[in-house]
Amino acid sequence: MNYQERYKEWLDSEVFDEETKTELRAIANDDKEIEDRFYKDLKFGTGGLRGVIGAGTNRMNIYTVTKATQGLANYIRSLGDEAISKGVALAYDSRNMSPEFAEATALCLNANGIKTYIFDSLRPTPELSYAVRKLNCVAGVVITASHNPPEYNGYKVYWEDGAQITPPHDKNILAHVAEVTDFDQVLKMNLADAKEQGLYNMVPDSVDEDYYNELVQQTIHSDIIPKIADDMTIVFTPLHGTGNVPVQEVLKRLGFTKVYIVPEQEQPDGDFPTVASPNPENPEGFAMALALAKKVDADIVMATDPDADRLGIYVKDTNGVFEGTELANTDDYPYVCFNANMTGALVAEYVCRERKNTGTLPANGALCSTIVSTNLAAAIAKAYDLKFIETLTGFKYIGEQIKFFDENHSYKFIYGMEESYGCLVGDYTRDKDACGAVVMLSEVAAFYKTQGKTLCDAMEEIYEKYGYYREGAHSLTLKGADGEARIKEIMNNLRSNPITEVAGLKVVALRDYKEDRRVDFESKVETATGLPRSNVLYFELDKDGWFAVRPSGTEPKIKFYFGVNEATMKDANDKLAEIKRFVVTLA
C-alpha cells in the first residue's frame, strides 16, 4: 500500500475520529505532506516512539500510541499471570498531548486486563524509573520527547528493573508491536469502567516523598550547605518542564536559601514559548536565566529539559580561570558554559575523591560511561581504582549495568555519565536524573565556595591533574525518505573506505559496533567489541583522541562525536576546530 492509499484509508475508515479526518482533509492538495505523514509507520525503536504530533502513520497520535501499546500489552500477557498482575507505571511531561497519550496508553493496557498506576500530573522521567521498582511493576511508560522541539512527542518503555528496555525485552516487544498490523486490533476501554474494575490507579503520594528523600541522601557533605547557604546564589529554570517542583523542593530541603527561578519559564507549557527548543545543550535557552543571574549575582545557573533527565549549567568565573580561552563568555557577565562532559567529569571527580576521603568508596566500585563520552571518565576511574565500564550510546545501557551488578553481586555502582547531558549518582533510579544532578552540583559548588573557589577553579584542577580532555560534536539533520537514504550512504562510505587520519591524528584502531569487531591497524589483530551490535563506527586516534559517527535512533540525524587530550586548553580547542572542519567534509 503506497502513501496515497494509506492516506485514503484513514479518511474512509471508521476507526479514525472526525477530528483526525478534518486534519487530513486540510492537506489534500499537499502531496509532499501526505507522503511524509504516510510513507512509513512511525518507527518503534529499541526505546519506544518519537515523532511529530499529528494525524498519520508516521506521526505521534492516539492511534499510533495505542497501536504500540497493544504490542506491549501482548508481550506482557505472553509472560503469564504474574507479569500481568504486577501492572505498569505511567508518567508524562509538559508536552502537548502528553496527558492524553498517557491516559490512552493506560486504558489500552487496562482493556488487556493489565493494571496501571499513573501520576496525577506531570513528573520527571527519572521518577518514573524510580516508581517502576518502588511499585514492583513489570514495566513503565513515560510520554516525553525529552529536549526535542515543541512539535514532537514520544513514548519510552521501561522494564521491571527500572531501566529502559534492553535485550531481550526490547527485541521481544518490537516483535509483538510489529504483529499489530491494523488499528482495529487495538483494545479499548473507557475510564469509568477501568476505575471501577480497579485497573486504572493513581501513583501514591508516598512515591514523591520517597523519591525526594533518595535525592537528598546522595549528598556527601550536606552539613556544609547551611553554613554557606546565605552566601551562595543559585538560578534555575525548568524550561517550562517537569523539573520545577522537585528541584525547588530538594534545594529547600538541603538548606539552600537563595534560589531564584526564572519566572517566564517556571510554568509547564508544551509550546515552550520562550525558547526555540527546550534543550539545555543550547546556549539560547539560557538567555533569560543568565540575565537573571547577572541581576542576582548567581554562582551557578542550571536548566533542566522538559522531562528533567538532562541538566545544563553555566558557572560564574569570578577568578578568571578561563579568561582568554574558548570557554570564556563574550557577554558582559563572567559566566562559562560547562558541557556535559565537563559537568560529568566534575561530579565524578568530586564523588570519587570525597567518598574515598570519607571512607565510603567501596573496593568493588564501578564507574560507567558511554562510547561517545569523554575519555576523562576512564582516567578518573583508574585514579580511584574503580572498575570502568563503557557502554553503547544511551543511558539505558548504564541502567542495564546496574541490573547486572545486582544479579551477579559483582560491582557497586558509584556513578554513570553520558555526553548528552545526563548523569546519575547512586542507584536509587535507573536512568539519568537531572534533579539528582542539581543536588550534587549544588553541593559541589557549595564545597568549593567554602574554599574561596568556583566550579571553574575545580574544573581547572581536574585538567591539571589528568590533561585537557575536550570534546565536540556535530549533527546533520536529513529529513524524510531522501534524508534517510543519505544517512545510510554516509555510513556505508565510511565503512567501506575507513579513514586513516583525522586532523593530523593517526587512526590506530577502528571499532565497528555493527559488525562487532575492533581492528588494531598496527598489529592487524581483530577482536570483538564486547558490546551489543549497533550502527556505530569509532576511530581510536593518537594521544587518547577519538572520532565516532552514528545515525540517531530517534531523530532524522547523523551524529559525529570527537575528543582530544592535549597539554593546554588552547591546543585542545585548536585540535577540536580542526576535527570539526574535517567532519564537515564528510557530511
Q: Are 9 and 1 in contact (CB under 8 A)?
A: yes
Query: Taking the alpha carbons of 12, 13, 17, 21 in that order, is the dihedral positive or negative?
Result: negative
Strand partners, 366: 387, 413
3-state secondary structure of 245: helix
Whole-number pLDDT of residue 87: 98
DSSP 94: S
Q: What is the mean pLDDT of residues 49-55?
A: 96
CA distances, 572 to each of 19, 338, 544, 569 (Å): 55, 15, 12, 5
Confidence of residue 326 (pLDDT cuts 50, 70, 90): confident
Q: Are 344 and 418 in contact (CB under 8 A)?
A: yes
Question: Is 211:245 a contact under the CB 8 Å cutoff?
Answer: no
- Pairing relation of β-strands 259-261 and 234-237? parallel
pTM over 0.85: yes
Please state, in angstroms and rounded to a whole number, the distance separating the CA atoms of residues 69 and 64: 9
- Say whether the peptide bond before residue 168 is cis (omega within 30 degrees of 0): yes
pLDDT value of residue 324: 75
Determine contact, residues 374/341, Cβ cutoff 8 Å. yes
Residue corresponding to grid cell 568508596 = 361
| Euclidean distance between CA atoms 297 and 514, whole angstroms | 49
If 0-12 CB within 10 Å is exposed, 13-18 middle and 19+ buried, where does residue 172 land?
A: middle
What's the confidence (pLDDT) of residue 554? 67
Question: Mean pLDDT, the chain, as a whole number?
Answer: 95
Q: Rounded distance, CA 78 to CA 179, Å?
A: 13
Instruction: Check 129, 146, 420, 442 and give the catalytic one.
Output: 146
Helices 340-357 and 434-449: angle between axes, nearest 10 degrees: 60
Residue 247 binned pLDDT confidence (cut-offs 50, 70, 90): very high
C-alpha span between 584 and 213 (Å, rounded): 47
Give the model's confidence band at 1: pLDDT under 50 very low, under 70 low, under 90 confident, else very high: confident
**For this structure, is 146 an active site residue?**
yes
- CA 206 vs CA 117, 119, 210: distances in Å: 13, 12, 6
pLDDT > 70: what percent of the chain? 99
Q: Are 429 and 384 in contact (CB under 8 A)?
A: no
Residues 6+ apart with CB under 8 A from 113: 77, 84, 199
For residue range 183-228, what is the model confidence (pLDDT) as tens digits?
999 999 999 999 999 999 999 999 999 999 999 999 999 999 999 9
Rounded to a whole number of angstroms, the distance between the first and last alpha carbons of the chain is 33
Taking alpha carbons only, the member of 561, 358, 350, 355 closest to residue 439 is 350
